[in-house]
Structure formats: structure tokens, C-alpha cells
Amino acid sequence: MTTAYDPFGVPGQRRPPQDPLLSLPDHPSGEWATAARRPVPQAQSQPRVGHPRPARRDSGPYLASPTGGAPFPVVAEPAEVRRRGRLAPALLALVLLAGGGFMAWRLDRADSSFDERLAASQQRESELAERADRLEKQLAGVFDPEAISSSVLPSVFRVRAGNFTGTAFSIGDEAGKGKSNLLTNYHVVESVWAAGGKKVFLERGKDEMSATIVKVSASKDLAVLRADREIAGLDPAPKTVKPGQQVVVVGAPLGLEDTVTTGVVSAYRPDDSDGPSIQFDAPINPGNSGGPVVNSADEVIGLATAKARDAEGIGLAIPIKTACDTFKIC
């Protein structure tokens, strides 16, 4: 046998070389396998099945065994489990908070959408109301000869001046209490005025009254009559007429009182030699002279004065502005 020496020079038994792989604890040919084949002393025999192997007391906390044997070690709770236990409530709270925020957002969006729909509905109602107002105004401006005639006729009279017949109408309200001013053509009352007379008669049905010629303008073919009775006066049109405007002419053609004809303004002629004139196409005849030409707003635009001979649909009227400026009565 070969003898080996340790560092201190004491001879000892030489150890055989060992393969590192054979020396692993779980290898069947290693030291652990060799040790397993060695006989186990009686005192160190394995514990009986069913009893836990007592742990070392210096390795951690222990709990008393219920059978009176060796105490059981207390297994510590892993840190990962503790962290998860603390995180679970926080995650639940976050989920609930996020859900509540989402629902609040949805409710806010729903409220906003409802407000937008309500605003759109209100705007639509406003637009419909405006449209209805416009239609109502347009309908109010529709030419209605019947309504115009009903409004105008009570202010219009047949004039009988000597042997001549024409028409006159009440205008304005400046004649004074209990009196009325009426306009007509000068040629209607010319025979009475030229003879030095001033009295004429106003007739409408069974209603008859006398009137006085107070002013005349032969050059403009205008005259003012005054009646000792209050008669509702017509309103003069404030604007200059335009071609195409619809008109109603009221008078007593051939002595036929309360006659109404309709037409349109054919032209406005401001530069005629005898002064501005309005041309219209409503039929007129002798006896219409001095009668009012009225627009769709029941306003007088002029006095019917003449018609073209040997022609149809050509009538002429003196603008109401000319009469009001001449006599200052309206």
C-alpha cells in the first residue's frame, strides 16, 4: 500500500482519487450511496411514520405539538402573498373608482346630448315661429279688394255741383271738431265756383249733406270741400308709388255711387307738363273724377282725374302728395 504524508509529515493512508461526478450526493455510486449502505446504529434509526421530524430549535418559531411530541415549526407567510393581500383592496378601489368615473362621464355625455337636442328643438321652433310670422305678414299684404272697399267706401261720396256729378272723399283729421275736409277735382265744382257759388251736395245712398268749396287750384285741378259733419278720413300713402302695385278705384261713374274697380299702377310720371301723374289701368268713366285711388294698405295714392279718349285701360291720377302739399290739410 502506498503511504502518503500530510503537511506535518505524519504518514497516513493514501486516499484513492475520486471522480467529481461520482461524488455527487444523488449519484448511486457516490458518498451518499455508500453511506446509505452502511448500517445505521440503533439509537439513530428513522422516526416512525406519521410523526414529523423535529426541527432544529434555532431555525425559527415553533408551535407546541398536540400529541405532546416535538414542537411544530411555524411556517412564515411569503412576502409575495402579503403584498398581494395588501394590493387586492387597492385594486378593487381603483376598479370601483374607474367604473364610477366612467358612469359619471356617460351621464355627463347623456346630459350634454339631451341639452344639444333640446337647444336644436328650441331653435327649430323659433325658426318655425319666424316663418309663420313671415307668412302671416305676407298674407296680411295680400291684395283684398273686398276688404279695401269695406274700409274705404264710408269715406267716399258722390258730389253734385249744379248739373255736374263727380266724386269726393274725406282726408285727414285737420278740419276741426264736427267738420271734415274732402278732396275732389276742380273741374267737378268748376261751374259752381265760376258762378260765384260755394255750395255743393254730398250724397251716399239716403245720406245727403251740404258742403262748402273752401279752396281751389285750377292749375292743378284740385278743390277742397268742407262738410259740417265728422267723416272718417282716409290716410295718404307716405311713399311714392311704383309700377305694378295693385290698386282699387272708388267712385260714382255716370252717377253710380259706391262703384269699385281694380287694376295696377301702370307708370309713375313725375315730369309731365301739368305736374306729376300716376297712370293706372283700372276702368274709370265720367263721374269717377275726384275719387280715391287706394293701395293694398287702404292708403290713398292719388285722385282719379281723367282717362284717355279712344283707348282702354289708360287712366290718370293726381298724386296725393301734390294735393296735401297744395292745401296743407293732410
Is 187 in the active site? yes
- For 27-68, the DSSP string reads STTSHHHHHHHSPPPGGGPPPPTTSPPPPPGGGS-EE--TTS
Q: Which of 149, 155, 289, 298 is catalytic?
A: 289
C-alpha span between 17 and 96 (Å, rounded):
70
Q: Which of 187, 266, 277, 298 is catalytic?
A: 187
Is 126 in the active site? no
Q: Is 79 left (phi over 0), alpha (psi -120 to 50) or beta?
A: alpha
Is 289 in the active site? yes
Q: Is 34 left (phi over 0), alpha (psi -120 to 50) or beta?
A: alpha
C-alpha span between 151 and 148 (Å, rounded):
5
Q: Which of 170, 221, 277, 298 is catalytic?
A: 221
Q: Is 56 left (phi over 0), alpha (psi -120 to 50) or beta?
A: beta
Candidates 304, 267, 69; CA nearest to 167 is: 304
The catalytic residue positions are 187, 221, 289
